[in-house]
Amino acid sequence: MRGSRINYYICNFKAVSHGSNINYMGNGIRHVAVIMDGNGRWATSRGLERIEGHYRGVEAVRSTINAALEAGVEYLTLYAFSKENWGREKDEVDGLMELFCKTISLEVPSLTEKGVKVRFLCDRAGLSREVLDSLDYCESKTAHCGRMTLLVALNYSARDEIVSAARAIASEVSAGGMSLSDIDGKSFSDRLYTASVPDPDLIIRTSGEQRLSNFLLWQAAYSEFYFSSVLWPDFDEECFREALAEFGRRKRRFGKTE
């Protein structure tokens, strides 16, 4: 029964028009990151089980990918599952893992056709073999794509990511392959999950919450933030465009004057 619901939400998407071909690159935006929040509240407000909100959230993911492609965004990062999320009810976590695997399997052909390369930002420890196989399959099948890179943060913790990078540097210094004078911002960034990816220009969070929740703490140093009151399942292409339009009205100084 659960599999039928997943298939419904993945396959029953609204058609997206690409005729407008809006491009926001003139605003200097290359990388947009999204904290997808509000699935559970969307479901409970309708008298549904929380997992139903996650099924519906798949449609918002698809809409956001399409809107990002339309806008010419080069990198799109989606916060799918944090390490803290393991503390939720087992039925919800199991349902999410099943949803990840099913969605990946069904979406790879569409992502490949659209030129979307997928990378996962994750601590692989603790993930089941089924989930790991799904991640590997998706990354390998989309590795040749070059229109946009989709980064999915799964079993992710920004604090743990930073600690992991620090340990990697300490190990290299201890082994004599790196000196203390070699340690700088770039060498540290190169050891994060996001190595080679530009920092996010814009971070969007849905559902009205206004916090990072252990997401891209190092990379968000100069990101612009956009907080939407819309719950994630209702976040559509127009919502994404509104966030980009707001970004275009901002003046980014990076600590400098006008």
Catalytic residues: 37, 85
CA 171 to each of CA 46, 118, 179: distance values in angstroms, whole numbers, following the listed order: 51, 29, 11
Helices (H) and strands (E) in the chain, counts: 8, 6
State the Cα angle at 153 between 56 and 40, rounded to 5°.
30
Given a contact cutoff of 8 angstroms between Cβ atoms, the answer to whether 155 and 121 are in contact is no
For 183, the 3-state DSSP assignment is coil
Can you read off the two tokens belonging to residue 243? 């966030």
CA 31 to each of CA 88, 147, 197: distance values in angstroms, whole numbers, following the listed order: 30, 13, 9
Given a contact cutoff of 8 angstroms between Cβ atoms, the answer to whether 35 and 57 are in contact is no
**Contacts with 178 (C-beta within 8 Å, 6 or more apart), sequence order:** 169, 172, 187
Given a contact cutoff of 8 angstroms between Cβ atoms, the answer to whether 181 and 147 are in contact is no
Q: Which residues are bridge partners to 35 per DSSP?
A: 79, 205
